[in-house]
Chain A
């Protein structure tokens, strides 16, 4: 799967190539051969991988751990119903309702989950958008338009500006053809394509154009450039899935999605819950059998215990909490595709970030100038808010004039009111940077150009490596020239220092070399500028451009200008925040190591004072091999080094150097880097925009794609999309992710607590034979109706401390549900709630005539359907139905008790450590609304007519609402004591046992 591209066609001579593909580079293939090959190789398109059938996916949603338990419970209900109905027993419809309710719960949550899964679309679909539809092919000497998917290996195709390259092709002839490889390699600059082989690597060489890359429109100056730019002829060497994009696509879709940390957490504790439910159920099944209940009854007990113990509403709560955070993130320009990814960002410990467009602005900008033997810093901020440099020198006047005039780029018309930085420009990246720089520092460029009309010019080419133009300036002419600094210097005889033209002697040459090396070392692209005044008429209009270099000698050197794609203003702070939050930021880029290192240093990925082994070697003047890697915090690793590494070495390097930069990496290598980090136990976030990033994005625990610059493939592979392409948004995401983890913990603690007061009625019912205090349907109402909103409202809780100053959680140690949380919820708060419920139950029973001691052991007579004159403690006689309504009253009273205690519970869950008063009792408005809602639902269920016979709720006496309140108060006070102990005595026994 992860084999890198193995192609040597670019190194073959044309005749060999013809022989290899048995074709002709003039006439193309014979039609019959083409048809044969089409049959052999299949159509030239990307094949989607075989997916899991939809029904299997849906089935999987219905067969989770808890779901299976619920199915068993529903089955038991149905069996019990069938048997009771068979015995002619009336009033057994309860079991039927319960079965239906349980099945409905499973199916609805299943549909919910399936919908979530369904939304994440097929990744291959995004690659399809890149694939060309039509291709111009030469077969048997005739030029044809055919569907691109009918192309075969050996076909001779023509491409022109605006086309997508229809397959991987070896260029045979080209005129000014440039392709945009950005989607494939991340390089944002257009790449020239020509017939010569310029590099051993097929990805680097100029004579191969890749399937799906864009052939650019003809050059920026159609008016001055007459040559038929942007066309090429080539031979197809790979089609369909064997092309490089096909390989990336299959790589991306072949990468299995890692389970998100939150999914692992939830699975972990669902397993525990399911295990405990079965354990409790089985225990009491045995107990019931031993006590002497019939088998069917014991099964019903088992079912009831499962229903009571399983938190049916939990998955819905978690999903809603996550989607609320996702919504909040969406407002901050982070669109979350996969809900669970919200939390993943919070537990992220490593971010592998792409450079271009994520950390940088993705536009060349003038960063430094060297003139008057001094390096000046230009303003590189996005909104030109930074400091400018001293512009009073006359050298600057000359330099700025050269920069303005020796430039073919121009603004598109009608943008006068737009800030310079945002204007659109016709021209390549460096010329654009210079144009904008001139516009900002000097003033209107078009005006200056108007004053010095162009007489003649020689455009840049790769042989000369410079560009020059001659302008009329009144009675003189001005020759301006820019280009590669060393080539420019060759043509200079003087240098301008503070307005004085000084001879260019060895001293100045040394100064120049120093400045050039300095700027180059910062990863910047350096251009030299020079000029010379000529007498009028030296160059006549219409002079052959090729003759111009002869004039351009003995020039006066003006200065150097260095450009870079500067980091975004917000990034250094964001990187620093990540550091304080214990997150390691690793740069993984396709760009050059020097540039990568410079940007890494600028944004703080390599912090100040950190050295790479190379730096250490240079400082100590020892060979690189003798440098102790521990002395170097930082390290830059190139793709070439990576390719030569033994397995396991990379992990060692990642461990040894906290600050890492990977440069010149291929898509496969990005994948390897991510996997290595994951093998070290890290939770890895990957940011990227190109197609080449998509496998790594998919492999990462959370892939973050760029919304503006990002390709569809990257967006599809990612879990999250940054709409503003801003790395700083990731920090917001991390913060929200950590918050939601904390809040989910609270939410789950709240949800779990009530399982104990739901469970204990059955335990007492079975062992002490009291009339049943709480029914299954009532339990489902608590789980799925009244308590959902409060548990969700905890997602709105503010952070208790500065969560961005903590280390990322250790996924093996800091679990979502840990032992203290379960113990505290179950055995302490849950126990208090149970006592509250039983108090209210016994009060309601006693006040209606059934004293507590009479209740014990009453169950067999109480539930005897033939017993129509059962005596209570006062000698009154009750029919079965009257007792049933009394039992429903007990259900309702117990229900109200749990609700009252759950109000106290939701309040205490607001904080885990801080006092409730420190957190603010009413600051979370949603929570207040949720409590009001919960009480209203409780009232509705109690007092709505018709409820007794539908849902077993009875209108209860007003005072029974108050019976559980002392216990609610106890919960509040006890938890405050707990928190006080936790705060006062960190690390103590109390803290260890009671802090969750």
Chain B
């Protein structure tokens, strides 16, 4: 152990960087230590060679023939896969009925919607300014056009009130729809008062239940509607008139048989006439369905069996 002699170790370490360069130049065994120390220029050069190597005529590390083979392989592979997918879809579609969905796990119980619906659930207008409430009135007329007495009489039949209108027979047979005449809505029909009460600050709002195939709401007892102030003073609401009847959806309009066979089906409506709402303030109103099987108190879904909207009527 010649400790006094100059140590090769010390020198070696100092020369390490030089050696690295030499190693790279001569293409000698490149070690792990060197792999991390490439410059950007080297990297760019490598990248370029990788993209197109003129010597070996390779692009991205493959020759034309190699690319051809691998692309052909993947073409065949994906064609087969897509074929299998298409076959599965085909088999699945064969099993589906065009008239009735296989499952109705998430669509029932029904949700609720209102008209007029323009852009949100706040209905705000000034009685004195026609332009503020005319869009609502137009929307109502447009919506109710399908409920015109003439149209209904032409297309649909009269049904027996108070019982479900069950139509047996073949699933693919066309189903009859019951008449829901606009005139049933009386003061809110827009026949007598063409402005649905908006010009007087007593707006009508229509309530409809979402359509669900085969659903029989209320299990024999018609579903009814009521309204209350959602938050705030109860007296802000005043009295509400409901049409038709006492604000119920007649059983004869149910069940629904789907858009293919039940072509002329028109959803029954309940009109709510707010005759005495407090003016010049925001009145949040919640209208709920009541009946057996109706759910109207789920926190997460505020349109399930109920609807919340705001009335703001100015002078």
Contacts and interface: CB of A to CB of B under 8 A. Distances in A.
A933 interface: no
Contacts of B77: 828, 831
B151 interface: no
Interface in B12-35: 12-13, 15, 19, 23, 29-33, 35
A881 B303 contact: yes
Closest 4 CB pairs of A and B: A875-B259, A879-B111, A881-B301, A877-B210
6 contacts: A1-B13, A4-B3, A4-B10, A640-B1, A678-B32, A681-B31
Contact of A877 (B1, B31, B211): B211
A957 B103 CA distance: 10
Contacts of B4: 4, 6, 8, 200-201
A383 B298 CA distance: 81
B78 interface: yes
Contacts of A645: 8
A681 B29 CA distance: 6
Contact of B2 (A259, A639, A648): A639
A875 B8 contact: no
Nearest to B78: A831
Interface stretch (B67-75, B131-139, B161-169, B242-250): B67-75
Contacts of B265: 875
A679 interface: yes
B211 A852 contact: no
B2 A640 contact: yes
A678 B29 CA distance: 10
A832 interface: yes
Contact of B303 (A832, A873, A880): A880
Contacts of A839: 85, 88-89, 92
A668 B119 CA distance: 82
A835 B83 CA distance: 11
A840 to B, nearest CB: 9
A619 interface: no
B148 to A, nearest CB: 21
Interface residues of B, number: 69
A991 to B, nearest CB: 13
Interface string A635-647: 0000110111111
A838 B85 contact: yes
Interface of B: 1-13, 15, 19, 23, 29-33, 35, 69-70, 73-74, 77-78, 81-82, 84-85, 88-89, 92-93, 96, 99-107, 110-113, 119-121, 208, 210-213, 256, 258-260, 262, 265, 298, 300-301, 303-304
A204 B96 CA distance: 93
A827 interface: yes
Contacts of A461: none
Contacts of A650: 8
Contacts of A838: 85
A226 B102 CA distance: 106
Interface in A450-489: none
A862 interface: no
A989 B103 contact: no
Given A644-B5, A849-B104, 5 more contacts: A202-B3, A647-B12, A846-B93, A848-B103, A874-B99
Interface centre among A5, A200, A846, A963 (most CB of B within 10 A): A846
Contacts of A202: 3
Contact of B103 (A847, A851, A878): A847
Given A838-B85, A880-B303, A3 B111 contact: no
Nearest to B5: A643
Interface string A808-836: 00011000000000000001100110010
B101 to A, nearest CB: 4
Contacts of B105: 848, 889, 957
A478 to B, nearest CB: 44
Taking residues whose C-beta sits less than 8 angstroms from the other chain, chain A's interface range is: 35 or more
Interface centre among B10, B31, B120 (most CB of A within 10 A): B31
Nearest to B100: A874
A868 interface: yes
A878 B301 CA distance: 11
A868 B12 contact: no
Given A643-B5, A679-B31, A874-B101, A847 B96 contact: yes
Interface string A598-625: 0000000000000000000000000000
Contacts of B119: 866
A874 B88 contact: no
B8 A672 contact: yes
Nearest to B34: A679
A881 B300 contact: yes
Contacts of A668: 7, 9
B69 A989 contact: yes
Interface string A871-896: 11111111111110110010000000
Contacts of A812: 30
A634 interface: no
A827 to B, nearest CB: 7
B101 A848 contact: yes
A671 interface: yes
Given A848-B101, A876-B211, A869 B111 contact: yes
Interface of A: 1-8, 200-204, 258-259, 261, 264, 590, 639-640, 642-648, 650, 664-666, 668-669, 671-672, 675, 678-681, 811-812, 827-828, 831-832, 835, 838-839, 842-843, 846-849, 851-852, 866, 868-869, 871-883, 885-886, 889, 949, 957, 963, 966-967, 970, 989, 993
A838 B88 CA distance: 10
A869 B209 CA distance: 9
A259 B101 contact: no
Interface centre among B73, B88, B103, B256 (most CB of A within 10 A): B88
Contacts of A204: 1
A835 B81 contact: yes
Contacts of B74: 827
Given A643-B8, A647-B8, A866-B120, A264 B32 contact: yes
Contacts of B32: 258-259, 261, 264, 678, 681, 811
Contacts of B93: 846, 851-852
A680 B34 CA distance: 12
A831 B78 CA distance: 8
Contacts of B106: 848, 878, 882-883, 885-886, 889
A697 B7 CA distance: 20
B107 A872 contact: yes
Nearest to B265: A875
Nearest to B112: A868
Contact of A679 (B9, B19, B100, B256): B19
Given A202-B3, A204-B1, A2 B211 contact: no
Contact of A882 (B70, B73, B111): B111
B30 A647 contact: no
Contacts of B300: 881, 949
Interface centre among A7, A838, A839 (most CB of B within 10 A): A839
Nearest to B102: A847
A647 B11 contact: yes
A2 B13 contact: yes
A843 B92 contact: yes
Nearest to A261: B32
B134 to A, nearest CB: 22
Contacts of B69: 989
A977 to B, nearest CB: 12
B239 to A, nearest CB: 27
A789 B300 CA distance: 35
Contacts of B23: 679
Contacts of B8: 642-643, 645-647, 650, 669, 672
A642 B9 CA distance: 10
A847 B3 contact: no
A995 to B, nearest CB: 14
A878 B73 contact: no
Nearest to B9: A2
Nearest to B258: A874
A882 B78 contact: no
